[in-house]
Chain A
Amino acid sequence: MLRVEGLNAGYGDVQVLWDINLNVNMGETVALIGPNGAGKSTLLNCICGLLPTPKGTLFLEDDDISLVPGHIRTKKGLVQIPEGRKLFSAMSVEDNLSMGAYVRSDKAQVSEDLEWAFTLFPELVSLRHQLAGSLSGGQQQMCAIARGLMSRPRYLFIDEMSLGVAPVIVDRLIVAIRDIQAEAKMGLLVVEQDVMLALELASRAYVLETGCIVSHGDSTDMISDPKIVEAYLGM
Protein backbone atom coordinates (compact mmCIF):
# COMPACT_ATOMS: atom_id res chain seq x y z
CA MET A 1 0.00 0.00 0.00
CA LEU A 2 1.01 3.58 -0.70
CA ARG A 3 -0.04 5.82 2.14
CA VAL A 4 0.01 9.59 2.45
CA GLU A 5 -0.35 11.03 5.93
CA GLY A 6 -0.84 14.62 6.99
CA LEU A 7 0.67 16.11 3.86
CA ASN A 8 1.01 19.91 3.67
CA ALA A 9 2.69 21.60 0.72
CA GLY A 10 2.85 24.72 -1.34
CA TYR A 11 4.87 26.96 -3.61
CA GLY A 12 6.94 29.54 -1.81
CA ASP A 13 4.69 31.36 0.63
CA VAL A 14 1.49 30.09 -0.92
CA GLN A 15 0.18 26.96 0.75
CA VAL A 16 -1.74 24.74 -1.62
CA LEU A 17 -2.41 21.49 0.24
CA TRP A 18 -3.65 21.04 3.79
CA ASP A 19 -3.48 17.80 5.79
CA ILE A 20 -3.92 15.30 3.00
CA ASN A 21 -4.55 11.69 3.98
CA LEU A 22 -4.85 9.21 1.18
CA ASN A 23 -3.97 5.62 0.34
CA VAL A 24 -3.78 3.36 -2.69
CA ASN A 25 -3.66 -0.43 -2.40
CA MET A 26 -1.82 -2.72 -4.76
CA GLY A 27 -4.18 -3.85 -7.51
CA GLU A 28 -6.63 -1.05 -6.79
CA THR A 29 -7.65 1.88 -9.00
CA VAL A 30 -8.33 5.04 -7.03
CA ALA A 31 -9.56 8.34 -8.40
CA LEU A 32 -8.65 11.85 -7.25
CA ILE A 33 -11.25 14.30 -8.51
CA GLY A 34 -11.86 17.97 -7.95
CA PRO A 35 -12.11 21.28 -9.74
CA ASN A 36 -9.37 23.13 -11.50
CA GLY A 37 -6.86 24.60 -9.13
CA ALA A 38 -7.77 22.29 -6.27
CA GLY A 39 -4.19 21.02 -6.08
CA LYS A 40 -4.50 17.60 -7.69
CA SER A 41 -1.37 17.90 -9.81
CA THR A 42 0.44 19.40 -6.87
CA LEU A 43 -0.43 16.37 -4.78
CA LEU A 44 0.87 14.02 -7.45
CA ASN A 45 4.08 15.99 -7.69
CA CYS A 46 4.53 15.70 -3.94
CA ILE A 47 4.00 11.95 -4.00
CA CYS A 48 6.49 11.54 -6.81
CA GLY A 49 9.06 13.71 -5.10
CA LEU A 50 9.02 16.57 -7.59
CA LEU A 51 7.88 19.02 -4.96
CA PRO A 52 9.31 19.27 -1.46
CA THR A 53 6.83 18.57 1.30
CA PRO A 54 7.76 20.34 4.49
CA LYS A 55 5.13 18.55 6.50
CA GLY A 56 3.72 15.06 6.13
CA THR A 57 4.78 11.47 5.60
CA LEU A 58 4.73 9.11 2.66
CA PHE A 59 4.77 5.39 3.28
CA LEU A 60 5.55 2.78 0.66
CA GLU A 61 4.68 -0.66 2.07
CA ASP A 62 5.36 0.69 5.56
CA ASP A 63 8.70 2.24 4.57
CA ASP A 64 8.91 5.95 5.19
CA ILE A 65 10.07 7.41 1.88
CA SER A 66 9.28 11.03 2.67
CA LEU A 67 12.87 12.10 2.24
CA VAL A 68 13.70 9.93 -0.73
CA PRO A 69 14.48 12.06 -3.79
CA GLY A 70 12.27 11.90 -6.88
CA HIS A 71 14.49 9.89 -9.19
CA ILE A 72 14.97 7.20 -6.55
CA ARG A 73 11.21 7.03 -6.06
CA THR A 74 10.91 6.16 -9.74
CA LYS A 75 13.31 3.29 -9.20
CA LYS A 76 11.19 2.17 -6.29
CA GLY A 77 8.25 1.93 -8.64
CA LEU A 78 6.40 5.25 -8.32
CA VAL A 79 5.75 6.48 -11.85
CA GLN A 80 3.84 9.52 -13.02
CA ILE A 81 2.24 10.15 -16.38
CA PRO A 82 2.07 13.92 -16.20
CA GLU A 83 -0.64 16.27 -17.29
CA GLY A 84 -0.17 17.22 -20.91
CA ARG A 85 1.82 14.07 -21.50
CA LYS A 86 5.24 15.77 -21.66
CA LEU A 87 6.53 13.39 -24.28
CA PHE A 88 9.95 13.88 -25.83
CA SER A 89 8.46 15.40 -28.95
CA ALA A 90 11.65 15.29 -31.00
CA MET A 91 12.12 11.59 -30.37
CA SER A 92 10.28 8.72 -32.00
CA VAL A 93 7.54 6.77 -30.27
CA GLU A 94 9.83 3.81 -29.82
CA ASP A 95 12.57 6.00 -28.34
CA ASN A 96 10.09 7.52 -25.93
CA LEU A 97 9.13 4.08 -24.75
CA SER A 98 12.78 3.10 -24.39
CA MET A 99 13.32 6.21 -22.28
CA GLY A 100 10.61 4.93 -20.01
CA ALA A 101 12.81 1.95 -19.27
CA TYR A 102 15.83 4.14 -18.52
CA VAL A 103 16.03 3.12 -14.87
CA ARG A 104 15.93 -0.58 -15.65
CA SER A 105 18.88 -2.84 -16.26
CA ASP A 106 17.09 -6.07 -17.19
CA LYS A 107 17.42 -5.80 -20.98
CA ALA A 108 15.51 -8.96 -21.84
CA GLN A 109 12.49 -8.00 -19.78
CA VAL A 110 12.54 -4.53 -21.30
CA SER A 111 12.05 -5.81 -24.85
CA GLU A 112 9.29 -8.10 -23.61
CA ASP A 113 7.57 -5.15 -22.03
CA LEU A 114 8.02 -3.17 -25.22
CA GLU A 115 6.13 -5.83 -27.13
CA TRP A 116 3.45 -5.90 -24.47
CA ALA A 117 3.03 -2.15 -24.81
CA PHE A 118 2.46 -2.55 -28.52
CA THR A 119 -0.07 -5.30 -27.90
CA LEU A 120 -1.94 -3.03 -25.53
CA PHE A 121 -1.86 -0.18 -28.02
CA PRO A 122 -1.81 -1.67 -31.54
CA GLU A 123 -2.35 1.85 -32.89
CA LEU A 124 1.20 2.68 -31.90
CA VAL A 125 2.76 -0.08 -34.01
CA SER A 126 2.48 1.84 -37.26
CA LEU A 127 3.61 4.98 -35.47
CA ARG A 128 6.67 3.32 -34.03
CA HIS A 129 9.22 5.47 -35.78
CA GLN A 130 7.19 8.64 -36.01
CA LEU A 131 8.14 11.68 -33.97
CA ALA A 132 6.09 11.85 -30.81
CA GLY A 133 5.40 15.55 -31.32
CA SER A 134 3.51 14.84 -34.54
CA LEU A 135 0.94 12.53 -32.99
CA SER A 136 -2.64 13.42 -32.20
CA GLY A 137 -3.76 13.99 -28.61
CA GLY A 138 -5.13 10.51 -28.20
CA GLN A 139 -2.09 8.85 -29.75
CA GLN A 140 0.18 10.90 -27.51
CA GLN A 141 -1.74 9.81 -24.46
CA MET A 142 -1.33 6.16 -25.47
CA CYS A 143 2.36 6.73 -25.99
CA ALA A 144 2.65 8.42 -22.62
CA ILE A 145 0.88 5.62 -20.82
CA ALA A 146 3.01 3.04 -22.59
CA ARG A 147 6.14 4.95 -21.67
CA GLY A 148 5.04 4.96 -18.05
CA LEU A 149 4.44 1.24 -18.14
CA MET A 150 7.94 0.66 -19.42
CA SER A 151 9.31 1.54 -15.99
CA ARG A 152 7.47 -1.47 -14.56
CA PRO A 153 5.69 0.70 -12.03
CA ARG A 154 4.25 -0.66 -8.86
CA TYR A 155 2.23 2.48 -8.40
CA LEU A 156 1.19 4.46 -11.43
CA PHE A 157 -0.22 7.99 -11.36
CA ILE A 158 -2.06 9.33 -14.37
CA ASP A 159 -2.75 13.06 -14.41
CA GLU A 160 -5.69 14.29 -16.49
CA MET A 161 -5.76 11.54 -19.05
CA SER A 162 -8.79 12.92 -20.89
CA LEU A 163 -7.48 16.44 -21.53
CA GLY A 164 -7.20 17.14 -25.22
CA VAL A 165 -8.32 13.65 -26.15
CA ALA A 166 -11.40 12.87 -28.25
CA PRO A 167 -14.19 11.09 -26.32
CA VAL A 168 -13.97 8.05 -28.55
CA ILE A 169 -10.32 7.67 -27.74
CA VAL A 170 -11.05 8.20 -24.05
CA ASP A 171 -13.26 5.12 -24.13
CA ARG A 172 -10.43 3.27 -25.83
CA LEU A 173 -8.07 4.35 -23.07
CA ILE A 174 -10.47 3.15 -20.39
CA VAL A 175 -10.40 -0.30 -21.96
CA ALA A 176 -6.62 -0.20 -22.09
CA ILE A 177 -6.37 0.78 -18.42
CA ARG A 178 -8.62 -2.09 -17.44
CA ASP A 179 -6.46 -4.48 -19.43
CA ILE A 180 -3.36 -3.11 -17.75
CA GLN A 181 -4.79 -3.56 -14.29
CA ALA A 182 -5.94 -7.07 -15.08
CA GLU A 183 -2.41 -7.99 -16.16
CA ALA A 184 -0.14 -5.97 -13.88
CA LYS A 185 -2.28 -5.37 -10.82
CA MET A 186 -0.50 -2.21 -9.80
CA GLY A 187 -1.71 0.51 -7.52
CA LEU A 188 -3.26 3.08 -9.83
CA LEU A 189 -4.16 6.64 -8.91
CA VAL A 190 -6.08 8.54 -11.56
CA VAL A 191 -6.45 12.30 -11.38
CA GLU A 192 -9.41 13.53 -13.37
CA GLN A 193 -11.59 16.54 -13.80
CA ASP A 194 -14.16 14.46 -15.65
CA VAL A 195 -16.09 12.96 -12.78
CA MET A 196 -17.82 10.16 -14.62
CA LEU A 197 -14.63 8.98 -16.26
CA ALA A 198 -12.93 8.86 -12.89
CA LEU A 199 -15.75 6.98 -11.20
CA GLU A 200 -15.95 4.46 -14.04
CA LEU A 201 -12.28 3.69 -13.88
CA ALA A 202 -11.83 3.59 -10.15
CA SER A 203 -13.26 1.58 -7.32
CA ARG A 204 -12.69 4.37 -4.83
CA ALA A 205 -12.50 8.12 -5.10
CA TYR A 206 -11.21 11.14 -3.14
CA VAL A 207 -12.60 14.60 -3.71
CA LEU A 208 -10.10 17.46 -3.43
CA GLU A 209 -11.34 21.02 -3.08
CA THR A 210 -9.04 23.96 -2.56
CA GLY A 211 -6.31 21.81 -1.12
CA CYS A 212 -8.40 19.69 1.24
CA ILE A 213 -9.96 16.25 0.91
CA VAL A 214 -13.66 16.95 1.40
CA SER A 215 -15.04 13.53 0.66
CA HIS A 216 -14.05 9.97 -0.17
CA GLY A 217 -15.60 6.58 -0.58
CA ASP A 218 -16.55 3.83 -3.02
CA SER A 219 -17.23 4.99 -6.55
CA THR A 220 -20.74 3.63 -6.59
CA ASP A 221 -21.61 5.68 -3.51
CA MET A 222 -19.80 8.76 -4.71
CA ILE A 223 -21.85 9.12 -7.86
CA SER A 224 -24.76 10.43 -5.91
CA ASP A 225 -22.70 12.34 -3.35
CA PRO A 226 -23.81 15.97 -3.43
CA LYS A 227 -20.43 17.02 -2.00
CA ILE A 228 -18.96 16.52 -5.44
CA VAL A 229 -21.13 19.11 -7.11
CA GLU A 230 -20.54 21.36 -4.14
CA ALA A 231 -16.78 20.95 -4.49
CA TYR A 232 -16.89 21.94 -8.12
CA LEU A 233 -19.55 24.60 -8.05
CA GLY A 234 -19.53 25.97 -4.55
CA MET A 235 -23.03 25.04 -3.55
Chain B
Amino acid sequence: MTAQQPSIATNPAPGAKRAKPSRRPLIIALVLLSTFVVLLPAVLGGYWMRVLTVVFIFAIMAESVNIIAGYAGYNALGNAVFFGVGAYIVGVTTTQLNVPFWAALLLAGLGCVAYSVVIGYPILRLSGRYFLMATLGLLEITREVVLNLDITGGAQGIATPVMDVSPEFANRLFYYLALAVLATVVWVTWWIQRHNMGLALRAIKFDEEAARTMGINSTWYKTQAWAVSAFFTGLAGGVYAYFLAYIEPASVFEIATSVRMYIEHVFGGAGTVFGPVLGALILELLSEFVWARFTEIHYLILGSLVILITLFVPKGLISYIRKIPVHRLDAWVIGLFRRDSAGREESED
Protein backbone atom coordinates (compact mmCIF):
# COMPACT_ATOMS: atom_id res chain seq x y z
CA MET B 1 0.00 0.00 0.00
CA THR B 2 1.52 3.32 -1.01
CA ALA B 3 2.29 5.67 1.82
CA GLN B 4 -0.15 8.50 1.77
CA GLN B 5 0.61 12.16 1.62
CA PRO B 6 -0.22 13.41 5.06
CA SER B 7 -2.90 15.95 4.40
CA ILE B 8 -5.09 17.47 6.97
CA ALA B 9 -7.85 18.29 4.59
CA THR B 10 -9.15 14.77 4.18
CA ASN B 11 -11.45 12.60 6.22
CA PRO B 12 -11.18 12.24 9.96
CA ALA B 13 -8.82 9.75 11.53
CA PRO B 14 -8.77 6.59 9.45
CA GLY B 15 -10.01 3.36 10.96
CA ALA B 16 -7.84 1.12 13.05
CA LYS B 17 -7.26 -1.26 10.18
CA ARG B 18 -5.19 1.18 8.18
CA ALA B 19 -1.83 2.61 9.18
CA LYS B 20 -1.92 6.31 9.94
CA PRO B 21 -0.04 8.30 7.33
CA SER B 22 2.85 10.14 8.79
CA ARG B 23 2.06 13.68 9.82
CA ARG B 24 5.58 14.49 10.75
CA PRO B 25 6.56 16.50 7.67
CA LEU B 26 3.51 18.68 7.94
CA ILE B 27 3.95 19.32 11.62
CA ILE B 28 7.58 20.21 11.16
CA ALA B 29 6.70 22.56 8.34
CA LEU B 30 4.03 24.23 10.43
CA VAL B 31 6.28 24.67 13.42
CA LEU B 32 9.03 26.16 11.28
CA LEU B 33 6.63 28.47 9.54
CA SER B 34 4.98 29.62 12.73
CA THR B 35 8.31 30.35 14.36
CA PHE B 36 9.41 32.26 11.32
CA VAL B 37 6.27 34.35 11.18
CA VAL B 38 6.29 35.10 14.89
CA LEU B 39 9.91 36.17 14.88
CA LEU B 40 9.68 38.18 11.69
CA PRO B 41 8.90 41.59 13.25
CA ALA B 42 12.31 41.55 14.83
CA VAL B 43 13.87 42.02 11.41
CA LEU B 44 11.17 43.76 9.43
CA GLY B 45 10.76 47.45 9.01
CA GLY B 46 7.46 49.17 9.69
CA TYR B 47 6.42 49.25 6.07
CA TRP B 48 6.66 45.53 5.52
CA MET B 49 5.07 44.79 8.86
CA ARG B 50 2.11 46.82 7.82
CA VAL B 51 2.03 45.12 4.46
CA LEU B 52 2.02 41.72 6.11
CA THR B 53 -0.71 42.83 8.52
CA VAL B 54 -2.95 43.60 5.58
CA VAL B 55 -2.00 40.27 4.03
CA PHE B 56 -3.02 38.53 7.25
CA ILE B 57 -6.31 40.38 7.21
CA PHE B 58 -7.02 39.18 3.70
CA ALA B 59 -5.97 35.71 4.70
CA ILE B 60 -8.51 35.80 7.53
CA MET B 61 -11.23 36.81 5.11
CA ALA B 62 -10.23 34.24 2.52
CA GLU B 63 -10.21 31.56 5.17
CA SER B 64 -13.61 32.74 6.39
CA VAL B 65 -15.32 32.77 3.03
CA ASN B 66 -13.85 29.31 2.55
CA ILE B 67 -16.14 27.98 5.25
CA ILE B 68 -19.35 29.02 3.57
CA ALA B 69 -18.17 28.77 -0.02
CA GLY B 70 -15.34 26.26 -0.21
CA TYR B 71 -16.90 23.84 2.26
CA ALA B 72 -20.65 24.38 2.12
CA GLY B 73 -20.76 25.33 -1.53
CA TYR B 74 -22.67 28.53 -0.94
CA ASN B 75 -20.60 31.00 -2.87
CA ALA B 76 -20.84 34.22 -0.93
CA LEU B 77 -19.11 36.54 -3.32
CA GLY B 78 -20.34 39.46 -1.28
CA ASN B 79 -18.96 38.22 2.05
CA ALA B 80 -17.00 41.45 2.53
CA VAL B 81 -20.24 42.90 3.81
CA PHE B 82 -19.23 41.53 7.19
CA PHE B 83 -15.83 43.18 6.89
CA GLY B 84 -17.59 46.50 6.56
CA VAL B 85 -20.11 45.81 9.30
CA GLY B 86 -17.34 44.70 11.65
CA ALA B 87 -15.29 47.80 10.87
CA TYR B 88 -18.26 50.04 11.49
CA ILE B 89 -19.28 48.36 14.71
CA VAL B 90 -15.80 49.00 16.05
CA GLY B 91 -15.81 52.50 14.57
CA VAL B 92 -19.16 53.52 16.00
CA THR B 93 -18.85 51.90 19.43
CA THR B 94 -15.39 53.22 20.12
CA THR B 95 -16.12 56.76 19.02
CA GLN B 96 -19.76 57.25 20.03
CA LEU B 97 -20.14 54.88 22.93
CA ASN B 98 -16.65 54.86 24.35
CA VAL B 99 -16.40 51.13 24.31
CA PRO B 100 -12.84 49.91 24.75
CA PHE B 101 -11.24 48.42 21.65
CA TRP B 102 -11.16 44.81 22.76
CA ALA B 103 -14.81 44.79 23.69
CA ALA B 104 -15.65 46.57 20.45
CA LEU B 105 -13.80 43.92 18.53
CA LEU B 106 -15.79 41.17 20.18
CA LEU B 107 -19.00 43.09 19.48
CA ALA B 108 -17.95 43.37 15.86
CA GLY B 109 -17.67 39.63 15.59
CA LEU B 110 -20.91 38.92 17.40
CA GLY B 111 -22.76 41.65 15.55
CA CYS B 112 -21.81 40.06 12.28
CA VAL B 113 -22.95 36.69 13.54
CA ALA B 114 -26.34 38.16 14.33
CA TYR B 115 -26.50 39.86 10.96
CA SER B 116 -25.65 36.67 9.10
CA VAL B 117 -28.23 34.65 11.02
CA VAL B 118 -31.00 37.15 10.43
CA ILE B 119 -30.19 37.65 6.75
CA GLY B 120 -29.38 34.00 6.29
CA TYR B 121 -32.92 33.04 7.18
CA PRO B 122 -34.25 34.12 3.80
CA ILE B 123 -31.06 34.13 1.77
CA LEU B 124 -29.68 30.68 2.57
CA ARG B 125 -32.77 29.19 1.03
CA LEU B 126 -31.57 30.40 -2.33
CA SER B 127 -29.56 28.08 -4.47
CA GLY B 128 -26.24 28.51 -6.21
CA ARG B 129 -26.11 31.57 -8.37
CA TYR B 130 -29.09 33.22 -6.71
CA PHE B 131 -27.38 33.08 -3.36
CA LEU B 132 -24.26 34.54 -4.91
CA MET B 133 -26.19 37.46 -6.37
CA ALA B 134 -28.05 37.99 -3.13
CA THR B 135 -24.80 38.36 -1.19
CA LEU B 136 -23.57 40.91 -3.70
CA GLY B 137 -26.83 42.73 -3.32
CA LEU B 138 -26.43 42.57 0.44
CA LEU B 139 -23.02 44.17 0.19
CA GLU B 140 -24.37 47.02 -1.91
CA ILE B 141 -27.44 47.57 0.21
CA THR B 142 -25.53 47.58 3.46
CA ARG B 143 -23.09 50.09 2.10
CA GLU B 144 -25.89 52.39 1.06
CA VAL B 145 -27.55 52.11 4.44
CA VAL B 146 -24.32 52.93 6.24
CA LEU B 147 -23.73 55.80 3.85
CA ASN B 148 -27.05 57.32 4.72
CA LEU B 149 -27.09 56.95 8.48
CA ASP B 150 -25.97 59.76 10.72
CA ILE B 151 -24.52 57.62 13.43
CA THR B 152 -22.01 56.19 11.02
CA GLY B 153 -20.89 59.58 9.87
CA GLY B 154 -22.27 58.97 6.39
CA ALA B 155 -19.88 59.68 3.55
CA GLN B 156 -17.44 61.34 5.91
CA GLY B 157 -16.57 58.06 7.48
CA ILE B 158 -15.20 57.61 10.96
CA ALA B 159 -11.77 58.33 12.30
CA THR B 160 -11.09 55.77 14.98
CA PRO B 161 -9.23 56.79 18.10
CA VAL B 162 -5.48 56.59 17.78
CA MET B 163 -3.89 54.49 20.46
CA ASP B 164 -1.53 56.16 22.86
CA VAL B 165 1.48 54.09 21.94
CA SER B 166 4.58 54.41 19.78
CA PRO B 167 4.30 53.61 16.05
CA GLU B 168 6.63 50.65 16.39
CA PHE B 169 4.51 49.21 19.16
CA ALA B 170 1.32 49.82 17.20
CA ASN B 171 2.75 48.07 14.14
CA ARG B 172 3.69 45.07 16.19
CA LEU B 173 0.39 45.06 18.03
CA PHE B 174 -1.65 44.91 14.86
CA TYR B 175 0.73 42.43 13.27
CA TYR B 176 0.33 39.98 16.13
CA LEU B 177 -3.37 40.70 16.54
CA ALA B 178 -4.06 39.92 12.90
CA LEU B 179 -1.82 36.88 13.13
CA ALA B 180 -3.67 35.67 16.22
CA VAL B 181 -7.05 35.99 14.58
CA LEU B 182 -5.69 34.23 11.49
CA ALA B 183 -4.34 31.38 13.58
CA THR B 184 -7.72 31.09 15.30
CA VAL B 185 -9.74 30.93 12.11
CA VAL B 186 -7.33 28.37 10.65
CA TRP B 187 -7.68 26.29 13.77
CA VAL B 188 -11.48 26.58 13.64
CA THR B 189 -11.42 25.47 10.01
CA TRP B 190 -9.24 22.54 10.92
CA TRP B 191 -11.62 21.62 13.71
CA ILE B 192 -14.62 21.81 11.37
CA GLN B 193 -12.82 19.67 8.82
CA ARG B 194 -12.18 16.98 11.37
CA HIS B 195 -15.65 16.81 12.86
CA ASN B 196 -19.17 16.08 11.73
CA MET B 197 -19.76 19.64 10.68
CA GLY B 198 -17.14 19.34 7.97
CA LEU B 199 -18.65 16.17 6.62
CA ALA B 200 -22.10 17.71 6.70
CA LEU B 201 -21.00 20.86 4.87
CA ARG B 202 -19.25 18.92 2.18
CA ALA B 203 -22.26 16.67 1.71
CA ILE B 204 -24.41 19.76 1.41
CA LYS B 205 -22.06 21.17 -1.18
CA PHE B 206 -22.16 18.09 -3.36
CA ASP B 207 -25.87 17.34 -3.10
CA GLU B 208 -28.01 19.18 -0.59
CA GLU B 209 -31.18 17.22 -1.26
CA ALA B 210 -29.46 13.88 -0.81
CA ALA B 211 -27.76 15.24 2.30
CA ARG B 212 -31.11 16.09 3.82
CA THR B 213 -32.43 12.63 3.17
CA MET B 214 -29.38 11.32 5.01
CA GLY B 215 -30.42 13.12 8.14
CA ILE B 216 -28.39 16.30 7.71
CA ASN B 217 -30.25 19.38 8.87
CA SER B 218 -28.86 21.54 6.12
CA THR B 219 -30.44 24.77 7.37
CA TRP B 220 -28.73 24.38 10.72
CA TYR B 221 -25.31 23.64 9.26
CA LYS B 222 -25.47 26.35 6.62
CA THR B 223 -26.45 28.92 9.18
CA GLN B 224 -23.62 27.86 11.46
CA ALA B 225 -21.13 27.99 8.63
CA TRP B 226 -22.12 31.47 7.58
CA ALA B 227 -22.14 32.64 11.18
CA VAL B 228 -18.57 31.45 11.72
CA SER B 229 -17.56 33.01 8.43
CA ALA B 230 -19.22 36.29 9.40
CA PHE B 231 -17.64 36.29 12.86
CA PHE B 232 -14.08 36.14 11.65
CA THR B 233 -14.66 38.46 8.71
CA GLY B 234 -16.15 40.91 11.19
CA LEU B 235 -13.10 40.61 13.42
CA ALA B 236 -10.91 41.31 10.42
CA GLY B 237 -12.94 44.43 9.72
CA GLY B 238 -12.70 45.55 13.33
CA VAL B 239 -8.93 45.18 13.38
CA TYR B 240 -8.68 47.00 10.10
CA ALA B 241 -10.75 49.90 11.43
CA TYR B 242 -8.25 50.59 14.16
CA PHE B 243 -5.27 49.69 12.06
CA LEU B 244 -6.05 52.23 9.39
CA ALA B 245 -7.53 54.69 11.89
CA TYR B 246 -10.07 55.74 9.31
CA ILE B 247 -12.97 54.00 7.61
CA GLU B 248 -15.59 55.07 5.10
CA PRO B 249 -18.36 53.16 3.35
CA ALA B 250 -16.74 53.15 -0.07
CA SER B 251 -13.57 51.51 1.13
CA VAL B 252 -14.84 48.93 3.61
CA PHE B 253 -17.81 47.79 1.56
CA GLU B 254 -15.78 47.50 -1.58
CA ILE B 255 -16.71 44.88 -4.11
CA ALA B 256 -13.11 44.52 -5.25
CA THR B 257 -12.16 43.45 -1.75
CA SER B 258 -14.92 40.90 -1.69
CA VAL B 259 -13.99 39.46 -5.05
CA ARG B 260 -10.29 39.37 -4.12
CA MET B 261 -10.79 37.33 -1.00
CA TYR B 262 -13.11 34.98 -2.85
CA ILE B 263 -10.61 34.42 -5.64
CA GLU B 264 -7.80 33.95 -3.15
CA HIS B 265 -9.65 31.12 -1.46
CA VAL B 266 -10.31 29.43 -4.77
CA PHE B 267 -6.74 29.95 -5.95
CA GLY B 268 -5.27 28.49 -2.82
CA GLY B 269 -7.74 25.66 -2.62
CA ALA B 270 -11.42 25.94 -1.76
CA GLY B 271 -12.47 23.45 0.86
CA THR B 272 -8.99 22.94 2.30
CA VAL B 273 -7.61 24.15 5.61
CA PHE B 274 -4.50 25.97 4.43
CA GLY B 275 -5.38 26.70 0.83
CA PRO B 276 -7.04 30.09 1.35
CA VAL B 277 -4.15 31.31 3.51
CA LEU B 278 -1.70 30.31 0.83
CA GLY B 279 -3.82 31.92 -1.85
CA ALA B 280 -4.12 35.17 0.06
CA LEU B 281 -0.42 35.23 0.83
CA ILE B 282 0.63 34.75 -2.74
CA LEU B 283 -1.89 37.02 -4.38
CA GLU B 284 -1.65 39.84 -1.88
CA LEU B 285 2.15 39.88 -1.91
CA LEU B 286 2.09 39.70 -5.67
CA SER B 287 -0.39 42.53 -5.77
CA GLU B 288 1.83 44.61 -3.53
CA PHE B 289 4.81 43.93 -5.78
CA VAL B 290 2.90 44.69 -8.96
CA TRP B 291 1.45 47.87 -7.56
CA ALA B 292 4.84 49.12 -6.55
CA ARG B 293 6.47 48.38 -9.90
CA PHE B 294 3.68 48.54 -12.43
CA THR B 295 1.23 50.99 -10.99
CA GLU B 296 -0.48 51.91 -14.25
CA ILE B 297 -1.27 48.42 -15.38
CA HIS B 298 -1.76 47.00 -11.91
CA TYR B 299 -5.29 45.88 -12.49
CA LEU B 300 -4.54 44.61 -15.95
CA ILE B 301 -1.95 42.27 -14.56
CA LEU B 302 -4.11 41.14 -11.69
CA GLY B 303 -7.10 40.63 -13.95
CA SER B 304 -5.04 38.52 -16.32
CA LEU B 305 -3.82 36.53 -13.37
CA VAL B 306 -7.40 35.78 -12.36
CA ILE B 307 -8.13 34.47 -15.85
CA LEU B 308 -5.00 32.34 -15.86
CA ILE B 309 -5.86 30.96 -12.45
CA THR B 310 -9.32 29.95 -13.58
CA LEU B 311 -7.93 28.26 -16.65
CA PHE B 312 -4.96 26.45 -15.21
CA VAL B 313 -5.39 26.07 -11.50
CA PRO B 314 -9.12 25.58 -11.06
CA LYS B 315 -8.78 23.22 -8.13
CA GLY B 316 -6.42 25.47 -6.26
CA LEU B 317 -2.76 25.29 -5.44
CA ILE B 318 -3.11 22.86 -2.58
CA SER B 319 -4.27 20.13 -4.94
CA TYR B 320 -0.96 20.42 -6.77
CA ILE B 321 1.11 20.71 -3.64
CA ARG B 322 -0.38 17.50 -2.37
CA LYS B 323 1.13 15.68 -5.26
CA ILE B 324 4.63 16.51 -4.13
CA PRO B 325 6.05 13.35 -2.57
CA VAL B 326 6.67 14.98 0.76
CA HIS B 327 7.22 11.69 2.49
CA ARG B 328 10.23 11.09 0.31
CA LEU B 329 11.60 14.52 1.07
CA ASP B 330 11.00 13.87 4.72
CA ALA B 331 12.81 10.57 4.62
CA TRP B 332 15.74 12.19 2.87
CA VAL B 333 16.00 14.95 5.46
CA ILE B 334 15.84 12.46 8.30
CA GLY B 335 18.43 10.39 6.55
CA LEU B 336 20.76 13.35 6.69
CA PHE B 337 20.75 13.32 10.45
CA ARG B 338 21.00 9.74 11.54
CA ARG B 339 22.49 6.39 10.89
CA ASP B 340 20.35 4.12 8.83
CA SER B 341 19.73 0.50 9.81
CA ALA B 342 22.50 -0.87 7.63
CA GLY B 343 25.02 0.95 9.73
CA ARG B 344 26.20 3.38 7.09
CA GLU B 345 26.72 6.77 8.50
CA GLU B 346 25.35 9.80 6.80
CA SER B 347 25.37 13.01 8.65
CA GLU B 348 25.48 16.64 8.00
CA ASP B 349 26.18 19.38 10.42
| A–B: direct contact at CB < 8 Å | no
Residues of B at the A interface (CB closer than 8 Å) are none
Residues of A at the B interface (CB closer than 8 Å) are none
